[in-house]
Structure 1
Amino acid sequence: MLELTANHTQELLQDRDKKTILIVDDEGVIRDLCRRVLNDYHIVEAGDGQEAYEIFLRGGIDVILTDVMMPRMDGIELLKKLKEREPTMVVIIMTGFADKDLILKALKADADDFITKPLNLLQLKSAISKALVKKALKEEIANLRNLDRFKTVFLSLISHKFRTPITSISLFLQNLAAGVIDPADEGAKEHINLIYNEACYLGNLVTDLLTFSSVMDSGAGLHLEPCTLNLLLPKLLQEAQDVAARPGVTTHVTLDTVPELMLDRDKVSFAVRQVIDNAIKFSKETGVVCVTLRNLENQCEITVQDDGIGISPEQLPKLFEKFYQVDADHTGQVRGFGLGLFYVREFIRMHGGTVSIDSEENVGTRVVITLPNKASQSP
């Protein structure tokens, strides 16, 4: 295993912080000039609007600097499509035409700044710097609005989730106090057992609330530290198995040796644990949950596979949405908050990784998490 030095760790952290600028122009000499001037940033290039939009859809772009007159898709059309898809994206228009109609079209499409050709190199650097500040402000405002909406929906969901067990417990206690239920009766024992289960469910809800509260408070950034997945995964699997208390479900783990990675231990642990918990939860009365760690060329791959009840094809695209829950029994009373997989994807993406899910009803589910491993190794 290659050792991670303190200097290399600092270089990695600085590299992660580098912003990415997408330069769009059909003239290679212009793209080359911009790239040389903006050497403090990661630079991605595109020769026309269509190519630029395809690059943008892959993610990771912070600012787009685009010409107007280009083949296939011009700069104004690209601007419109970008803003429709991601309103907070900052787009700077480069143009050699001081045309009022053109500028008006760009402003209507929410262009963030203009640079005229021939390019003034000092102006170009200044425009990019201001664009990054503007992007940060836009994202902060958008996050505050989203957080406000999230809190409203979350509070509504909490009240709904708590109402059913509280109502059941309350009615039972009222009937007990009124003498309708005799604790000595054989049938009362079944009621008492049901109420006990509801009380346990309330306790689990509170635990989940505290977990998600902690997750949301720490969701802003990564706290990277050396992490050994070969030690972490068996621990997470054992913890999940102990909590689930499903003796009919067995577990199996297969581990390649992977290099020590720079990860946010809490976030990666949360993500993997959520996937394992779901695999055990949606297993049948008897089944096997397999966790596999593979060391590939540029990434490590964590696979969690079960032979449980599976997920229908129409539900698969919705699994990573906030508050979405699989209602396998069609009761409308799914327990939990439907936030686990949303944060799984968010946290893995923050590490530059991916999450994918394949499933078939009554056959089982396979979740694959990838994390880059090259960046964690010293040269």
Structure 2
Amino acid sequence: MTDDKPDILVVDDEKTIRDGCNRVLSTRGYTVTGAENGQVALDILQKQPVDVILLDLKMPVMDGETLLEILKERYADIPVIIITGHGTVDTAVNCMKKGAYDFITKPFQIDPFLLTIARAAEKRRLEQQAKRFQEENSRNLYDLSLEKSRLRTIINCLANGIMVTNRNLEVVLHNPALMRLLELGPDTAFPASVKAFLQDEDLIGTLKKIQSGESAPDATVAREIQAGRRFLRAISAPALGPEDGVVGTVTVLEDITPFKQLDAMKTDFVHMVAHELRSPLVSIRQQQSVMLEGLAGPLDPKQKDFIARGMKKIDGLLDLINDLLDIAKIESAHNVQTRVPTDLQKIIEETVALMEPRAGEQGVTIRFTARNLAPISADPKHMDEVMTNLISNAINYSPDGGEVTITAEGQGEYVEIKVQDRGIGIAPEELPKIFDKFYRVKNPRTRQVMGTGLGLAIVKGVIEAHHGSIDVESVPEGGTTFRILLPALAS
């Protein structure tokens, strides 16, 4: 990177977006490279360095969220700006929590767009300067306190707090942003023990582990802490000496309070709406149930049919409310409450037994086989919910006389579960969207299938909360297969 020629990588499957970014940025001194998906972007990064990445979320082959996780591991120092539509702003905010620098919404407004790019490029330049300076002076971090005037112009420009400690866990370098975030006054002694700056024992313990050399030299440790009224994300890494020995730690603290408040407001709103809706709906359902059973007087067949239809709609609304609550729990990281050794075979067998009468009504056969299954550490209630959602979907989208096949097999350190149907399948362009909230496959043959569009989002959230993964393969008119991998308990 030169001061006047930052290199920008635009990762977006829309050629118009890539070309538009190239036209706008190249005329202002930027060097622009385009990639149509995440895999192409990784290939480019292996061949040439870049300074800023513009990343779309929804792409074929490899989507933006997957690429962001890889970038966080391999290219953590490159600022990533998320390109998002208005419908995926929540996802973009979540990406910022995972390390993205900022996000911009389509369609772009030129001035804010250029300002965001310039800030990210400047951040990259300053961090590279700081890194070079650190490498030159890492032999003795105490010398940094004597040379702080050389760093002050760099670290004072950063909005994030910077804290550098020596081998004795004494803070030898910090910036004004750190004092502001930790709500500390200018009279704090310097250099001073890290405990004079932070009271979070977990973070201090993390710094001690880094000092002891337990972490890999290039590893970073991220942790959320609370300092007064603020919630902070602390990212810590070892400071290495000339012979790769650990001579101290470097911690960057970022204020994530607005995101925490936004999450809390969203959760409170969902719970409030759910409570205000569920109570009257349950009351209405009970009253209709009394009438349907004839306890309020005899009904003719037509009246019974109307009431039964109304109860079915109420049940659909109650399912939607319950799904919304589950989604809120997953997004607030409170969904998995208890983890115990869990027998997946037993859960699947019970789910199949529960689903067989319903499958029989549609002429669908369910087949289940299991082999070498090890127990997993999981919440049995949520594993049951996962299997119920997947098997129910497979039945719903299978033709009369079709077959749903469930296989569960031990795969070394993992347990693999497959749920396969031979139904209408999913079009390739719709596959990246099926785990999105409220998304339902657009097919005239599925209009009669009732659902909230939240089932697969819940499944994905539960599986990922258990440190597993889920993917899908589908052939139009040839069926769909969901594949789950979950870590097995060590025997």
Shorter-normalised TM-score: what interval? Answer: 0.5 to 0.7
1:87 is aligned to: 96
2:425 is aligned to: 310
1:213 paired with 2:287, answer no
Give the SS at the match of 2:348: helix
Amino acid at match of 1:106: L
- Normalised by the size of structure 2, how large is the TM-score? 0.48
Amino acid at match of 1:356: D
1:106 paired with 2:134, answer no
Give, in whole Å, the separation in 2 of the partners of 1:257 and 1:144.
Answer: 45
Shift of residue 74, structure 1, vs aligned partner: 9.3
Give, in whole Å, the separation in 2 of the partners of 1:226 and 1:291.
Answer: 21
1:377 is aligned to: 490
Aligned CA distance change for structure 1 residues 337 and 211 (closer, same or farther; 3 Å):
closer
Residues 126-137 of structure 1 aligned to structure 2 (within 5 Å): 126=194, 129=203, 132=223, 133=225, 134-135=232-233
1:368 paired with 2:480, answer no
1:253 paired with 2:327, answer no
Give the SS at the match of 2:390: helix
Structure 1: state its 5+ residue gaps.
Answer: 1-47, 65-71, 167-182
1:203 paired with 2:319, answer no
Aligned CA distance change for structure 1 residues 242 and 145 (closer, same or farther; 3 Å):
farther
Give the SS at the match of 1:377: coil
Give, in whole Å, the separation in 2 of the partners of 1:241 and 1:260.
Answer: 25
**RMSD between aligned residues:** 4.7
Give, in whole Å, the separation in 2 of the partners of 1:113 and 1:56.
Answer: 27
Which residue among 447, 456, 460 is the counterpart of 1:345? Answer: 460
Which residue among 42, 46, 58 is the counterpart of 2:69? Answer: 58
Aligned CA distance change for structure 1 residues 195 and 282 (closer, same or farther; 3 Å):
farther
Give the SS at the match of 1:276: helix
Aligned CA distance change for structure 1 residues 240 and 211 (closer, same or farther; 3 Å):
farther
Q: How many residues align?
A: 289
- Normalised by the size of structure 1, how large is the TM-score? 0.60
Amino acid at match of 1:201: K
Give, in whole Å, the separation in 1 of the partners of 2:379 and 2:257.
Answer: 23
Shift of residue 299, structure 1, vs aligned partner: 0.6
1:274 is aligned to: 389
1:67 is aligned to: none
Which residue among 273, 285, 293 is the counterpart of 2:408? Answer: 293
Structure 2: state its 5+ residue gaps.
Answer: 1-47, 54-64, 83-91, 102-126, 135-149, 172-192, 205-221, 226-231, 235-253, 285-298
Shift of residue 291, structure 1, vs aligned partner: 0.5
Give, in whole Å, the separation in 1 of the partners of 2:157 and 2:75.
Answer: 15
Give, in whole Å, the separation in 1 of the partners of 2:164 and 2:457.
Answer: 39
- Judge conservation of contact 2:270–2:324 (CA < 8 Å) in 1: no
Higher RCO structure, 1 or 2 (CA under 8 Å, sep 6+): 1
Shift of residue 211, structure 1, vs aligned partner: 5.8
Shift of residue 240, structure 1, vs aligned partner: 2.8
- Judge conservation of contact 1:326–1:334 (CA < 8 Å) in 2: no
Amino acid at match of 1:206: L
1:122 is aligned to: 169
Aligned CA distance change for structure 1 residues 260 and 287 (closer, same or farther; 3 Å):
same
Task: Say which is worse superposed, 333-342 or 79-88, in terms of deviation.
Answer: 79-88
Give the SS at the match of 1:86: helix
What are the Cα deviations for residues 179-229 of structure 1, in whole angstroms up to 9, with x where unaligned? xxxx99xxx95x974763343232243245346536745851441111111
